[in-house]
Structure 1
Amino acid sequence: MVVEKEGTFTVDNVALYSKSWLPDTTTPTKAKLLFIHGFSDHINRYNRFFAALASRGISVHGIDQRGWGRSVSHPRDRGNTGPTERVLADMAAFISSHLDDNPDKLPVFVMGHSMGGGQVLTFASHPKYQESVVRRVRGWLLESPFIGFSPEEKPSALKVMAGRLAGKLLPKQQMRHAILPENLSRDPEVVQSIKDDELMHNTGTLEGLAGLLDRTDALATGKVRPNGGAVKSLWLGHGTQDKTTWFEASKKYFEECCGEIPDKEFKAYEGWYHQLHADGEVSEEFYKDVGDWILKRCEEPAQEGAADNGGKVDAKL
């Protein structure tokens, strides 16, 4: 049995919903995974994935980010993430809390999905956090990271320009950005659950959406990239038929911007959609891949000059 614990994580006097998935007393805990969810998402939507990891001795800890999920106490808070500096500060506080409160010195890993994947890459690359946080993390994982829009979701240049201008004038103005549930998963039950989920409000502020676009542009153009001296291990998985974030952008970024990382792996999931963790029964393969990667690095910590596993491995249906 996996043990689930709910709570709150307070940062700058704002209480964020938190939850942990812990191995039971018969399963030794071997690692901690800290998880950053995506746009209009919340951590309870990853329950099967997190439970699968916990059953293998990987404790999983997450928060509903500011503006999302159960961290929203009033409709005006929906999507109110603040600027990128606020987003990264929240992440720094959350990650640091698990690094500092770690009496057993368990290896700590950080993972992000979609928008959260872009945030994780941005954070791991930010000079401000290299010494205090990034170097203390054993490995970084990215699920379908937002490095570029898929052709189906890419907005026009005029819309982006207008949004940026409006964001400067009315930063807290809310705007809906709905993502088609059918583009997220091939599993009809998952698609319906997304449609029925009232916590998935598809609403951002102009300030938050502008920050999201800026972070994505900085990654897509290679202006932001991990420092191989601080980031020792990186795993990136992306579905080739992702209709939300772009597989080709992830592949290009991995090949052109991650060369300094001594231990890295890219996995292409052939035919899969955006939510690798909820794409039907095949997602069990994804759970195994992530668990195997983490547990291997608990047994063999990444060192400077570790073997480069950068080749693409296609997962077949």
Structure 2
Amino acid sequence: MAPPSSTKAYTDAWLAGYDGTQFYTRTYAAAAPRAVLLYVHGFSEHIARYEWAHSRCASEGITVFAFDQRGFGRTALDAAHRSKKSSYGRTNLHDQLSDIEWWLTHLHKEYPGLPLFTMGHSMGGALILAFATRTSPPPSQESIALLSGVIPSSTLLLQFVSTSRPVRVAAETLSLILPNLLFDASLPNDYLSHDPAVKAALEADPMIIQKGSLRCLSDTLNNGERLYKHEYKNWPKNLPVLFMHGSGDRVTSFKAAQEFYENLPAEDKTFNTIEDGYHELVHEPNGVKEKYMDDCIAWMLERSKRPTQPGSTSSPPAAQEPAAETAPVVP
């Protein structure tokens, strides 16, 4: 890992994933950690956008580990450090779920004995739900048992305005031939936050490219739909879950998230509605984002006091040691 810096709230490093792909990562270390959080960002974005939120977690005793997903952020676009096979939008559901399992195992080894949570935004929210419910590819039960709780936020189960079935079928068919072909997936930035400064920052951010590969787009929409229709039934009953969703979200369906929550067979589940909140709750103004993070932090810390889940003390799944790290990042 990169050495601590007096000018940054985090350390950053390039770490190898399960298949040797190099990932840009950040760790926000709590001085006296009470829990650890794995953060999974959304479509077409990157982890640098969460610096204030992850710093807030660390100040409250929750160490945060975040990574730019394959196909996005610096993992895809940093020419000096990225893997040769990495490019923008190049990803798929199998690799995304395998990445989550890899980093959970990594964190279990790095922070033994601490409660481990995962949180995801939009596409990332659907991924962390799928991690615990998918039958193909199945995550190991040992990895699921490592978790003390899951927080999906503004989750992409169904779109607010659905892509037409003919377009989706055509894209899915073409993705079998040209999986990494980029396709426009732009949305009005006005839909993301009530804060005009957020819109301006998005428009100026070279790491935000509102496109995705055909494979990624097809996998993302199909994954959310499967979760919504039937894979919710596979949820481990003893795995706590906190849903955070804005009622004003015009990107992902607030109604679908509510229905999914109602159907989910979790013994400990909570649905927090942020009235009139847009898609990026972590960037909403007028005290909304602060309340949003306070609620997430309080939920994690409360469940950190509980005994770990059955099986969580078992050895993590065997995994290949990652390839040697590259030099720490020097921005």
Classify the TM-score, shorter chain. Answer: 0.7 to 0.9
- Off by >6 Å, runs of 4+ in structure 1: none
Q: Kindly tell me: are residues 100 and 274 of structure 1, through their superposed partners in 2, closer, same or farther at Cα, counting changes over 3 Å?
A: same
Within a 5 Å distance, the mapping from 1:252-291 to structure 2 comes to: 252-256=259-263, 258-259=264-265, 261-280=266-285, 281-291=287-297
Q: Which of 220-229 and 15-24 deviates more? A: 220-229
**1:48 CA drift (Å):** 1.3
Is residue 84 of structure 1 aligned with residue 93 of structure 2? yes
Q: Kindly provide the CA deviation profile for residues 62-120 of structure 1, in whole angstroms up to 9, marking residues without a partner as x.
A: 10000100101469711101x311111111111111012224x1110011110000000
In structure 2, the partner of 1:48 is 52
Within a 5 Å distance, the mapping from 1:218-229 to structure 2 comes to: 218-229=226-237
In structure 2, the partner of 1:205 is 213
Match of 1:251 among 223, 245, 258: 258
Tell me the amino acid that sits aligned with residue 263 of structure 1. D
Tell me the amino acid that sits aligned with residue 141 of structure 1. I
Question: 2: CA distance between counterparts of 1:172 and 1:119?
Answer: 20
Question: 1: CA distance between counterparts of 2:124 and 2:142?
Answer: 20
Tell me the amino acid that sits aligned with residue 285 of structure 1. K
Is residue 35 of structure 1 aligned with residue 61 of structure 2? no
**1:9 CA drift (Å):** 2.0
Question: 2: CA distance between counterparts of 1:279 and 1:269?
Answer: 10
In structure 2, the partner of 1:150 is 160
Question: 2: CA distance between counterparts of 1:78 and 1:303?
Answer: 37
Tell me the amino acid that sits aligned with residue 215 of structure 1. N
User: CA contact under 8 A between 1:42 and 1:69: conserved in structure 2?
Assistant: yes
Q: Kindly provide the CA deviation profile for residues 22-76 of structure 1, in whole angstroms up to 9, marking residues without a partner as x.
A: 124xxx2110000000000101101111111111011111100001001014697
Question: 2: CA distance between counterparts of 1:71 and 1:146?
Answer: 22
In structure 1, the partner of 2:134 is 126
SS class of match (1:88): helix
Tell me the amino acid that sits aligned with residue 139 of structure 1. G
TM-score by length of 1: 0.88
**1:226 CA drift (Å):** 4.2
Percent identity, aligned pairs only? 28
Is residue 193 of structure 1 aligned with residue 197 of structure 2? no
User: CA contact under 8 A between 1:42 and 1:68: conserved in structure 2?
Assistant: yes
Q: Kindly tell me: are residues 218 and 4 of structure 1, through their superposed partners in 2, closer, same or farther at Cα, counting changes over 3 Å?
A: same
SS class of match (1:110): strand
Question: 1: CA distance between counterparts of 2:9 and 2:191?
Answer: 32
Is residue 141 of structure 1 aligned with residue 151 of structure 2? yes
Is residue 113 of structure 1 aligned with residue 106 of structure 2? no
User: CA contact under 8 A between 2:248 and 2:275: conserved in structure 1?
Assistant: yes
In structure 1, the partner of 2:315 is none
SS class of match (1:72): helix
Tell me the amino acid that sits aligned with residue 150 of structure 2. W
Question: 2: CA distance between counterparts of 1:222 and 1:201?
Answer: 32
User: CA contact under 8 A between 2:145 and 2:309: conserved in structure 1?
Assistant: no
For structure 1, the residue ranges without an aligned partner over 5 or more in a row are 305-317
User: CA contact under 8 A between 1:49 and 1:287: conserved in structure 2?
Assistant: yes
User: CA contact under 8 A between 2:30 and 2:61: conserved in structure 1?
Assistant: yes
Question: 2: CA distance between counterparts of 1:139 and 1:76?
Answer: 31
Question: 2: CA distance between counterparts of 1:71 and 1:179?
Answer: 23
By relative contact order (CA 8 Å, sep 6+), the higher-ranking structure is 2
Q: Kindly tell me: are residues 32 and 187 of structure 1, through their superposed partners in 2, closer, same or farther at Cα, counting changes over 3 Å?
A: same
User: CA contact under 8 A between 2:70 and 2:86: conserved in structure 1?
Assistant: no
User: CA contact under 8 A between 1:96 and 1:133: conserved in structure 2?
Assistant: yes
User: CA contact under 8 A between 1:241 and 1:270: conserved in structure 2?
Assistant: yes
For structure 2, the residue ranges without an aligned partner over 5 or more in a row are 1-5, 80-84, 311-331
SS class of match (2:22): strand
**1:167 CA drift (Å):** 1.0
Question: 1: CA distance between counterparts of 2:130 and 2:233?
Answer: 8
SS class of match (2:27): strand
Residue correspondences, number: 294
In structure 2, the partner of 1:236 is 243
Question: 2: CA distance between counterparts of 1:40 and 1:179?
Answer: 11
Question: 2: CA distance between counterparts of 1:221 and 1:60?
Answer: 32
Question: 2: CA distance between counterparts of 1:269 and 1:178?
Answer: 24
Q: Kindly provide the CA deviation profile for residues 232-268 of structure 1, in whole angstroms up to 9, marking residues without a partner as x.
A: 2111110000011110010000001x12x11111111
User: CA contact under 8 A between 1:124 and 1:130: conserved in structure 2?
Assistant: no
